[in-house]
Structure 1
Amino acid sequence: MNRREFLNVLAAANAAGLLLPASLARAQTAAESFYDAPAFGDVSLLHITDCHAQLKPIHFREPSVNLGIAGMAGRAPHLVGPSLLEHFRIAPGSRAAHAFTFLDFERLAGLYGKVGGFAHLATLVKRVRANRPGALLLDGGDTWQGSGTALWTQGQDMVEAAKLLGVDVMTLHWECTYGQDRVREVAEKDFAGHIEIVAQNIKSADFGDDVFKPYTMRAVNGVKVAVIGQAFPYTPIANPRYMVADWTFGIREEDMQKTVDAARAAGAAVVVVLSHNGMDVDLKMASRVSGVDAILGGHTHDGMPAPSVVANPGGKTLVTNAGSNGKFLGVLDLAVSGGRVADFRYRLMPVFADLLPADPEMDALITRVRAPYEATLGEVLAVTDATLYRRGNFNGSFDQVILDALMAEKDAEIAFSPGFRWGASLLPGQPITMESLLDQTAITYPYVTLSNLSGAQIKTVLEDVCDNLFNPDPYYQQGGDMVRVGGLSYACDPTAAAGQRIQDMTLNGKPLEASKTYKVAGWAPVAEEAKTAGGEPIWDLVARNLRARKIIAPPRLNLPTLKGVDGNPGLAV
């Protein structure tokens, strides 16, 4: 889609009554300015990641807490709010400031509107590709999961949308929670001739064979480009092992180096890693693996306006992360000289629905795949008087709604909810629909649990999850946020040693007793036995609670008292 075609789409939207004449002129001017991205170099790579099945435009609040510890303290991606704006020289109150931070979220959301939506993303992809012949569109995974329609179609709605969007290559994480047979079915049937799945770190459990191609070689304007896949290394730990029983994962740094070397030996002038490691892991890998020009990363949902440049024994590697929920499109342009990358330009483009008219073909697909479910999705469960969001290291207001519902419906003293990063945000006054709830809970193992745990066991659970988040060695981090906790108060020192980060645990003002048993509600168990234990889906429990409450007042966030992080730029106060 060139400039003329882009303006024609705007004009067509106007003719259809979607834009008034004055709005058309403003939209043309704003879009031309905001999305001005001159082509550069010989090879262009477009990057999306962690869309989490969000086909429609949404609001999405970025975190106010994203702590970096030890070697990660004070550097991207662990910058939030004013620290992020200052580091990347972004003007406060601007569109970019709204896209990349939580600051003044409600007001700027009203001013700039919703973000994402595949129909709007498709318009941007076509626009960027118009003056970049041969540009590859890479998908970092977490695409098929995160909505009611994705759950009910086993990701088929997103499979069709990705094909229509023009994705060339992808890697995996939450896709695997539909089961290995479903992933293979998509790879071998739906994606055949359209999209390649690559993953150098997924092997068969019996003989260690590659399950997918480690990399694919593509010719872009006469330049050989190798795209190496790196699926989420901890899939069988963070998600149910039984869903991928015949596959093994892992970081596999040595295998990555061998794959890079093989790609170079095969003539690749450009080598990029399409990663779902999480950005801290990518930064460490970039410092240890030679010969990678860029790592296009995902998993941790970090919208980074500029890449980090990491030195290693073989030179330098660019490390990026392209946010989540269909909110961004990364554009990496590379100039190649003498068989090597000589220069680059990078831009992470926020997808503002009010600046980008819906692509008609993608819009029609979305309407078609949603049609059988619209009545169910549209049920209004309650209305919120507060901004409901999820993203943040320790808790979010929508997480708190889930915790409160668990404790109320299960008559539990304590509740745990997983530290998932996905889920759209709602503004004050918006209805909480079934779709809104499913955006927070739609997984293939949604079972509610009720357990009797000792105080010692509860501390062990919290310490284990905290170590996954704050271990000073990124290779031991699993990239999620801290388990959300209801009822129980505690302190957390992320800088402390393993086993000593969780402190001062109290329940109703009394210290938690190591030997005493407590009633704990939760959901999303990874053990296979939970499938037959009879637990109801979390969305049924929360929907029942919301219907009874009708109006959701601003929830009181149960947050730990933080220690050892004063002045950390990953914490906005």
Structure 2
Amino acid sequence: MAELTIVHIGDLHGHLVPRPNVRGDGTGRAEGGLAHLAAMVAQIRAERPASLLANTGDTIQGSAEALFTRGQALVDVVDRLGVDLFAPGNWDYLYGKERFLELFGPGTGSGPSRTRWGAVAANVYHAGTRDLLLPPYLVTEVAGLRVGVVGLSSERAVNALGPWVTEGIEFTDDGHEVPAHVRTLREEEGVDLVVLVSEFGLAKNVLIAEVNPGIDVVLSSDMHEETRDCVVTSTGALVSEVGQDGTRLARLDVTVEGGRVTGHRYRLHTVDAGTAPDRGVARLVDEVRAPFLAGPAFRPHVNPLNGAVLDRPIDDVVGRTEVGLHRSGFCGEGYPAAVEGTSHDFLSAAICEVAGTDVGHLRGFRYGTHVAPGPVRLEDLYHYLPVGAQLARTTVTGEQLRRSLEDSADGTFNPDPFRWTGGWVHAYAGVRYALDVFADKGSRVSAVQVRRGDGDWSDLEPGATYTLAGYWYPRVPDKVGGIDGGEVTVLGRAGAALDGPGAAGGPGAAGAVDVTEHVVDHLARHVVRAEEPRVRLVRPLPDRLWSFPEIQPLRGAR
């Protein structure tokens, strides 16, 4: 008999310092912060030397510090945590293949995988080949226990931008590689315990465990769910997911005997000031943040994705909000995150106002932060918009808009999680509608209305033309917000049409304006105030499957 403790973190999304929790379960105390997280990890390791620390992806994206250093700020700090196991997430590929391999590829680490943090991924290939970017698995020994670890990275490219971000990389999306590696670990490597570290998200990872009975533990990320009790599958696998932004840490103690788990104890901890920060990590966080904050160390930074220049400190106050901003509500709350969130309502409204369009579009991405009522700082905006997007406007037909609504709903609530498209329902300022998540594909959305400018609401007309604003990237110049519309106008300073080199975007482009600056312009004119929900649920979202509240229904809706 042997005992092992697994410490699980994931979906840090670039967060270095604590942030508020303005969701219904908030206590008023700030949560997260890598210095507090590091101290909690150290406490557990001191108590349980036979332990492994797993990080399950989406680490080096989600903040200004991450973006402008192409992930280095996060790598430098997380290196201090001593991560043993790592499954990269889709956002960890944001800076391209070369940068990904520079940070996590073979030769970047000294452990059994020879990759930084023990990075493993059985489903990510050099394009056009069957050669893997990373080892598919690793074997490590802890206190005489042989542990085999299979990795699944994201099952998709960075959909919010486009497949061009991950040029040279191919992903598979069904986990078909897992059974062979589990057999190898059991039959050839002679491991006592098989762990799957996976960024496929809780819903898919549970299904993968159900059809792979050789898996003992699954450490999951992507959906930002919080398993307050670990999921126990029909095959006996123990499954954990740990929220977002470094605000949660899971501890799983397992007893292993005869090649199987005979006992376990699971706890999901909130990371906050109840644990004193690790002083060394706190100093390092201060060091990597100093060039971005007001003070003598501040310097301008060039956005590596679009060439726009950050020329002001990120702790500058750029606006105010009267409502808590977030997109993390549980099913059954007034703003369930899978459908809507105050942060996305605000940001899409800002896009709409700056561009002067009928509709403002924003993808339903899961990353972000929480902002309490009061000042809004530039760094808050970079937590929401750290993807190098510019802003453009175009025209779409009513039928295109309706189809976009339906596609987004199906990508969130399809009863087969493997048909989900990543993220949640998109945000559409200037649009309101009814949503029946239980209806058939193509029939979930009804009673769609659009408000042109400051006018009255009117029914969507399939053949009518509407103006729409949203994300724009020079690699897909004919799309705005991922939609093929009419003529595209890229917006520069103060919402003016951008002509010349800046419209081409890319590093070094003169005149490129990041979408964050457009939101800053909006905040100079408007305080963020509460608005009525834009989406009316015809029927409540599905009931939870397990003891903990769900953010996205884990079996969709049927």
Is TM (by shorter chain) over 0.5?
yes
Q: Distance in 1 between matches of 2:161 and 2:474?
A: 6
Residue 128 of structure 1 deviates from its aligned partner by 0.5
Counterpart amino acid of residue 516 in structure 2: W
CA contact (8 A) 2:150 2:196 kept: yes
Counterpart amino acid of residue 419 in structure 2: Y
CA contact (8 A) 2:3 2:253 kept: yes
Q: What's the counterpart of residue 116 of structure 1?
A: 32
CA contact (8 A) 1:170 1:196 kept: yes
Residue 195 in structure 1 maps to residue 195 in structure 2: no
Q: What's the counterpart of residue 248 of structure 2?
A: 328
Gaps of 5+ in 1: 1-39, 63-101
Counterpart amino acid of residue 464 in structure 2: K
List aligned pairs for 1:401-440, cutoff 5 A: 401-428=346-373, 430-440=374-384
Residue 514 in structure 1 maps to residue 462 in structure 2: yes
Aligned length: 480
Q: Distance in 2 between matches of 1:470 and 1:214?
A: 31
Counterpart amino acid of residue 104 in structure 2: A
Residue 562 in structure 1 maps to residue 479 in structure 2: no
SS at match of 1:295: strand
CA contact (8 A) 2:474 2:503 kept: no
Q: What's the counterpart of residue 46 of structure 1?
A: 7
- Indicate which of 419, 442, 464 corresponds to 2:386: 442
Higher alpha-carbon deviation: 121-130 or 281-290:
281-290
Q: What's the counterpart of residue 465 of structure 1?
A: 408
CA contact (8 A) 1:485 1:558 kept: no
SS at match of 1:399: helix
Deviation digits for residues 247-301 of structure 1 (CA, Å, limit 9, x no counterpart): 1112333211111111112111111111111111112112112200011111010
Counterpart amino acid of residue 342 in structure 1: T
Change (3 A) 1:542 1:45: same
Q: What's the counterpart of residue 205 of structure 1?
A: 127
- Indicate which of 308, 321, 324 corresponds to 1:384: 321
Change (3 A) 1:246 1:118: same
Q: Distance in 2 between matches of 1:532 and 1:169?
A: 41
List aligned pairs for 1:238-249, cutoff 5 A: 238-249=160-171
Residue 425 of structure 1 deviates from its aligned partner by 1.2
Q: What's the counterpart of residue 398 of structure 1?
A: 343
CA contact (8 A) 1:51 1:143 kept: yes
Percent of residue pairs identical: 29
Deviation digits for residues 316-369 of structure 1 (CA, Å, limit 9, x no counterpart): 21122111110011111111111222211111111122x111111101110110
SS at match of 2:179: helix
Q: Distance in 2 between matches of 1:567 and 1:134?
A: 40
Residue 566 of structure 1 deviates from its aligned partner by 6.8
Deviation digits for residues 445-493 of structure 1 (CA, Å, limit 9, x no counterpart): 3221212111111111111111110110111113411101110111111
Counterpart amino acid of residue 377 in structure 2: T
Residue 545 in structure 1 maps to residue 465 in structure 2: no
Q: Distance in 2 between matches of 1:383 and 1:226?
A: 50
Residue 60 in structure 1 maps to residue 21 in structure 2: yes
Q: What's the counterpart of residue 67 of structure 1?
A: none
Residue 47 of structure 1 deviates from its aligned partner by 0.8
Counterpart amino acid of residue 63 in structure 2: S
Q: Distance in 2 between matches of 1:238 and 1:476?
A: 16
SS at match of 2:425: coil
Higher helix share: 1
- Tell me the TM-score normalised to structure 1 length: 0.80
Counterpart amino acid of residue 510 in structure 1: S
Q: Distance in 2 between matches of 1:527 and 1:561?
A: 35
Deviation digits for residues 407-458 of structure 1 (CA, Å, limit 9, x no counterpart): 1110010111111222221222x31011111111112x32212121111111
Residue 167 in structure 1 maps to residue 103 in structure 2: no
Q: CA RMSD in A?
A: 2.1
Q: Distance in 1 between matches of 2:50 and 2:550?
A: 41
Residue 351 in structure 1 maps to residue 271 in structure 2: yes
Residue 125 of structure 1 deviates from its aligned partner by 0.4
Q: What's the counterpart of residue 365 of structure 1?
A: 284
Deviation digits for residues 185-209 of structure 1 (CA, Å, limit 9, x no counterpart): 0124894225221111112221221
CA contact (8 A) 1:466 1:501 kept: yes
Residue 533 of structure 1 deviates from its aligned partner by 4.6
CA contact (8 A) 1:390 1:399 kept: yes
Q: Distance in 1 between matches of 2:397 and 2:440?
A: 23
Residue 305 in structure 1 maps to residue 228 in structure 2: yes
Q: What's the counterpart of residue 130 of structure 1?
A: 46
Gaps of 5+ in 2: 111-115, 295-312, 329-336, 452-456, 480-501, 506-511, 552-558
CA contact (8 A) 2:152 2:175 kept: no
List aligned pairs for 1:213-228, cutoff 5 A: 213-228=135-150
